[in-house]
Amino acid sequence: MRPIWKGSIGFGLVNISVKMYSATEESTMAFVQLDKNNHARIRYKKINETTGNEIKEGDIIKGYKYGADYVIMEEQDFQKATPEKQDFLEIVQFINEKEIDAVYFEKPYYLEPEKNAAKAYGLLRDALKKEGKAALGPLVYNKREWICLVKPLGEFLVLHRLRFAEEIRSTEGLVVPKADLKADELKMASMLIAQLTKPFKPEMFKDEYTEKLLKVIEAKAKGKAATAKPLKVVHSATTEDLMAKLKASLKAPSKKAS
């Protein structure tokens, strides 16, 4: 893996030199757009909206709409905004990770220590493990400020990029109808949850959709028609129906993760 960022973590007066790597990669299938008449690839061009001419990549600059005009931005202008956060992640507080709702988590990154920072890195990692805490701090990366949560994962520290509060949409306008639940229904649902509760093993879950989609593609490539059995979902409308389905669920064999 190649690092996407190099800098330091500020732990009090201790600076920990680290390299950051993306911890995830996309596994989705790549499709392209084609002309339906001759199956030729569709290409996009960057066009000057005034002249209609195609513009070369080297002639494209960044601008910000300000009033009726644009403010032209150069690379050094971006560096002038919070330069102290460009190569330095200062820990500003420690928290219990459970305080952060999952809706705030955006993407994880691995942090690897530079050779001269192994001891300080290990100190922060083991102290976080001992106290059961995670660290929070800001970082500017790729012309955007991040809220960073740093926590231990095995022998490594992992940085989770968090969303800002203003990025989370309000639930205002959404409606959840009132549900008059009976004690027996809640008890039955709790029993079903207990029955299906298991340790989390991510390797148990497979991307079956992509596997089956590949089979559809292979079948079409060979001139065969792929078939699929439609799934019919029946919603429980009455209390009696709900209880019957909960009881049947408790008796049914548990499904394997897909």
Range from 36-40, 65-69, 233-237 carrying the lowest mean pLDDT = 233-237
Instruction: Please state, rounded to an integer, the average pLDDT across all residues of the chain.
Output: 90
Q: At 148, give phi and psi (nearest 5°).
A: -115, 130
Domain boundaries, the chain: 1-176, 183-251
Task: Give residues with Cβ within 8 angstroms of 138, minimum separation 6.
Answer: 85, 89, 90, 92, 145, 146, 147, 148
Q: Going along the chain, which residue ranges are E strands?
A: 5-11, 14-22, 62-66, 69-73, 88-90, 93-95, 105-113, 134-141, 144-153, 156-162
* Range scoring the smallest mean pLDDT among 71-75, 107-111, 193-197, 208-212: 208-212
pLDDT score, position 239: 61
List, for residues 107-131, the tens digit of each pLDDT value. Answer: 999 999 999 999 999 999 999 999 9
Percent of the chain with pLDDT over 90: 63
Least confident of 49-63, 75-89, 163-177: 75-89
Q: Each residue of 127-175: pLDDT tens digit? A: 999 999 999 999 999 888 999 999 999 999 999 999 999 999 999 999 9
pLDDT reported for residue 35: 95
Residue 257 has pLDDT above 60, yes or no: no
Strand-pair partners of 138: 147
More confident: 255 or 214: 214
What CATH fold (topology level) applies to the domain 1-176? Ku70; Chain: A; Domain 2 (2.40.290)
Q: Are 147 and 136 in contact (CB under 8 A)?
A: yes
Task: Over range 185-196, report the average pLDDT.
Answer: 91
pLDDT tens by residue, 215-241: 888 888 888 877 777 766 666 556 678
